[in-house]
Structure 1
């Protein structure tokens, strides 16, 4: 579908970013530096959407800007660096702007408003929009929530009118930028003590009371939201089987039961151990009774998840290998971010600790390694300790980094964009950091933690055997070894990995198809 957009914006790097995003949505973009008052009436009929810088809009006069909101209902966005400016507020109110965008812009927010405007303008959907509910229990990191958020964004690319409600356990809440259409309910936090043992993190209550609290919140959310499809990540019954009351309740009313899918990353744990546990604790029976499909977020040519964990034993004929779930950076990301950081042509190493709970050792050793290098051989570095790191430990990392002239951000709103900007990644061997680095063809050194499960060790070994990454165990982490990698940043070259990265798009398509199959009143997009 062709969509014509007028961008009234003075020359800046912002132009490139906006053009990238708009063109990804099939838009034809015309950029002008200004529009006279007399031009406004003519232009309003020729574009499906107008984006105007607030300063230029004021020069045109409030009335002329209002004319851009023609009888056709053309969406108008006003962009500003000063949201609290009284003139800007009057402008937005007087011209009936659809949205006020504040610099620095988030690419995901632009995606949101584009999708919103396209849906409102063309009225693509003529019946009840889909409602998707997602569950992720995260206790140590951010991986389960990140995967679900990526899939949610893919759903909104296909169905901009969808509503996606995420039930999340991550102690930091939803720390990612997400588009309009995604919201979340924060479940009370847990902390993982061992492979299959959790306890309340913040509330001074018993495990049984916590289980009852979380289970009731989940059940009531599902009852009130009435999803057409549900996606559960990683834990089939939820923590302490907290999802079972909801599943049993749904089973009593099959005519309104949602399509239910289980999402599994490529590597879960040591295969024999996990298969025995699933047989012994009833997880296999939960999968068999309550799930319509299993989504595997991996590539069987890299690791045969279905065979390793015997998934067909639990859900014969219902297992889908979809590919890895990863964000892809916009084409302008590398130049734009490097310009923002002021690093020009210097090599940049990105050092990420995932969620951050166990990343203090990695951050400390990386800083030691950087300090051991002569200034001429030291690359620029950007540390990301993670939002879940202990605040006192994070403060130590920030102080050391500042003293050494090293960039340090607690979290990144868009890891894929920074992977595009960097020349090497050093990070924990979790799913998301590993896959997003591979998606950008970024030379990568993975540091695999030795527990509480075997997941990271297996992934690092598997990727290294195929020449996709270098890796070693966190137990062997030491500054001298890291320093040798840091010296190689400028000579490492990007590559194109031969792996399937379509997991998010394919999971989104399966969820929407599953919802449509069970609820045939859902509309499909009308042809434009």
Structure 2
């Protein structure tokens, strides 16, 4: 026999949702065959074409939907000239056709239980009619301020509706550090279905990429769509003595912002060339081997998105997080929780400057930051969680629907 997994992420801003699913796909591909004795393959359904740049295990593939972007007025088509409602209908029909064709044993949706504009509703209705399929809603460690999270649950029909659609909820964090069930971000009707995995940190997939010449410090801003202010401040900061500074802008940073950062680096190089004329600051658009770059850096400056933080937490590299302070309270709340236990340092965006980064980097390169106090082994647990669900589905009598 074989096991088929389908995973969904909406991907309107950044690549965090798709990359979280991709990390889980690699973990399931590694562990489920050992746990079940069966081969495993799957389909990752994503909403941004850049997601498909990342490799998948053998037997897995990407399905990239027409894209949404998030605007001040709500969701809008990224490229197509279609109203949001028609985009949701197009994407929903595509997802439903895909899950009908692959007939998954397990379906995992990241963060948005019914997708954009309810686009997952048809697919979930289809899967609920199949007693041999289980459904999981995956949530990051922090959602938002409790009142904002409550409004989002209400907007999709309430926690009870979500609980009817999903068999389990996996929370990708350490409840001893931050538990969204205790803060009120997850309603009581859903909390009973929740299982914390630990952060998806150790064992993240690491694609090939050129290693950086050591020693170096690193700045990374996730997908890059709203990280130009951090990358520019890093470009204007002074690298610690004897160090190079590697800045990864992310593939989604606007080209005009990348140009400004490169111009700042060029001006600094002209006024203060490195030894032998070598550039002291290097700007990369993207890198497939970010986990390795973080591990080998002497210090890292980063935004506080889930995946960036997970990559940092898997190492002992000192880290300074500059959380996004717009749209959601997610990043400041995550940063505060981890800073409170000494796992990293934080800098509010309003205090960001080249001088502040210069001071922090100069001290950080002389130390390491152990993070043994945090549960970072989520990727080693999801295989066991999945095996339990799939096994339970296969032992459910066919005349009793699994979701009854």
TM-score relative to the length of structure 1 = 0.68
Question: For the structure 1 residues 492 and 313, does the alpha-carbon distance in structure 2 shift closer, same or farther, using more than 3 Å as the test?
Answer: same
1:329 and 1:416 in contact (8 A); partners too? yes
Question: For the structure 1 residues 394 and 316, does the alpha-carbon distance in structure 2 shift closer, same or farther, using more than 3 Å as the test?
Answer: closer
Task: Report what 1:76 is aligned to.
Answer: none
Asked whether 1:454 is paired with 2:329, we answer: yes
CA distance in 1: counterparts of 2:203 and 2:101, whole angstroms:
34
CA distance in 2: counterparts of 1:263 and 1:369, whole angstroms:
38
Task: Report what 1:442 is aligned to.
Answer: 317
Q: Of residues 26, 29, 34 in structure 2, which corresponds to 1:153? A: 26
SS at the partner of 1:351?
Answer: strand
SS at the partner of 1:457?
Answer: helix
CA distance in 2: counterparts of 1:337 and 1:175, whole angstroms:
13
Alignment RMSD, CA only? 2.4
Question: For the structure 1 residues 363 and 313, does the alpha-carbon distance in structure 2 shift closer, same or farther, using more than 3 Å as the test?
Answer: same
Task: Report what 2:63 is aligned to.
Answer: 185
Task: Report what 2:120 is aligned to.
Answer: 243
User: Cα deviations across residues 407-438 of structure 1 (Å, max 9, x unaligned)?
Assistant: 22222213221111111110101111112111
Say which is worse superposed, 301-310 or 390-399, in terms of deviation.
390-399
SS at the partner of 1:162?
Answer: strand
Task: Report what 2:139 is aligned to.
Answer: 264
Task: Report what 1:430 is aligned to.
Answer: 305
CA distance in 1: counterparts of 2:189 and 2:263, whole angstroms:
51
Q: Which has the larger radius of gyration?
A: 1
Task: Report what 2:399 is aligned to.
Answer: none
Question: For the structure 1 residues 229 and 281, does the alpha-carbon distance in structure 2 shift closer, same or farther, using more than 3 Å as the test?
Answer: closer
Task: Report what 1:369 is aligned to.
Answer: 237
Asked whether 1:397 is paired with 2:261, we answer: yes
Question: For the structure 1 residues 199 and 319, does the alpha-carbon distance in structure 2 shift closer, same or farther, using more than 3 Å as the test?
Answer: same
CA distance in 1: counterparts of 2:366 and 2:8, whole angstroms:
42
Q: Of residues 372, 389, 394 in structure 2, which corresponds to 1:519? A: 394
Say which is worse superposed, 145-154 or 315-324, in terms of deviation.
315-324
CA distance in 2: counterparts of 1:143 and 1:453, whole angstroms:
15
CA distance in 1: counterparts of 2:256 and 2:386, whole angstroms:
42
Asked whether 1:342 is paired with 2:213, we answer: yes
User: Cα deviations across residues 67-97 of structure 1 (Å, max 9, x unaligned)?
Assistant: xxxxxxxxxxxxxxxxxxxxxxxxxxxxxxx
CA distance in 1: counterparts of 2:32 and 2:209, whole angstroms:
30
Q: Using CA pairs below 8 Å that are at least 6 residues apart, which structure has the higher relative contact order?
A: 2
Question: For the structure 1 residues 337 and 220, does the alpha-carbon distance in structure 2 shift closer, same or farther, using more than 3 Å as the test?
Answer: closer
Q: Of residues 48, 67, 79 in structure 2, which corresponds to 1:202? A: 79
SS at the partner of 1:144?
Answer: helix
1:150 and 1:327 in contact (8 A); partners too? no
**Count of residues paired in the alignment:** 379
CA distance in 2: counterparts of 1:328 and 1:440, whole angstroms:
11
1:151 and 1:505 in contact (8 A); partners too? no
2:249 and 2:284 in contact (8 A); partners too? yes
CA distance in 2: counterparts of 1:228 and 1:329, whole angstroms:
23
Question: For the structure 1 residues 197 and 327, does the alpha-carbon distance in structure 2 shift closer, same or farther, using more than 3 Å as the test?
Answer: farther
User: Cα deviations across residues 478-499 of structure 1 (Å, max 9, x unaligned)?
Assistant: 1111111122243122323311
Question: For the structure 1 residues 390 and 456, does the alpha-carbon distance in structure 2 shift closer, same or farther, using more than 3 Å as the test?
Answer: same
Task: Report what 2:227 is aligned to.
Answer: 359
CA distance in 1: counterparts of 2:209 and 2:85, whole angstroms:
47
Note the residue ranges of structure 2 that are not aligned, 5 or more in a row. 34-38, 270-278, 397-404
Tell me the CA shift for residue 400 of structure 1: 4.4
Tell me the CA shift for residue 266 of structure 1: 0.4
2:217 and 2:298 in contact (8 A); partners too? yes
1:352 and 1:385 in contact (8 A); partners too? yes
Task: Report what 2:182 is aligned to.
Answer: 307
Task: Report what 1:166 is aligned to.
Answer: 44
Asked whether 1:255 is paired with 2:131, we answer: yes
2:301 and 2:320 in contact (8 A); partners too? yes
Task: Report what 1:465 is aligned to.
Answer: 340
User: Cα deviations across residues 181-205 of structure 1 (Å, max 9, x unaligned)?
Assistant: 22110011111125x9211111111
Asked whether 1:419 is paired with 2:315, we answer: no
CA distance in 1: counterparts of 2:266 and 2:44, whole angstroms:
36
Task: Report what 2:95 is aligned to.
Answer: 218
1:135 and 1:166 in contact (8 A); partners too? yes
Note the residue ranges of structure 1 that are not aligned, 5 or more in a row. 1-127, 522-528
Task: Report what 1:497 is aligned to.
Answer: 372
2:50 and 2:251 in contact (8 A); partners too? yes
Question: For the structure 1 residues 224 and 471, does the alpha-carbon distance in structure 2 shift closer, same or farther, using more than 3 Å as the test?
Answer: same
SS at the partner of 2:53?
Answer: coil
SS at the partner of 1:185?
Answer: strand
Question: For the structure 1 residues 395 and 520, does the alpha-carbon distance in structure 2 shift closer, same or farther, using more than 3 Å as the test?
Answer: farther
TM-score relative to the length of structure 2 = 0.87
User: Cα deviations across residues 304-326 of structure 1 (Å, max 9, x unaligned)?
Assistant: 22222363622353210111012
CA distance in 2: counterparts of 1:430 and 1:439, whole angstroms:
15
CA distance in 2: counterparts of 1:280 and 1:202, whole angstroms:
26
Task: Report what 2:245 is aligned to.
Answer: 381
1:439 and 1:497 in contact (8 A); partners too? no
2:209 and 2:287 in contact (8 A); partners too? no
CA distance in 2: counterparts of 1:449 and 1:136, whole angstroms:
21
Asked whether 1:136 is paired with 2:30, we answer: no
1:139 and 1:171 in contact (8 A); partners too? no
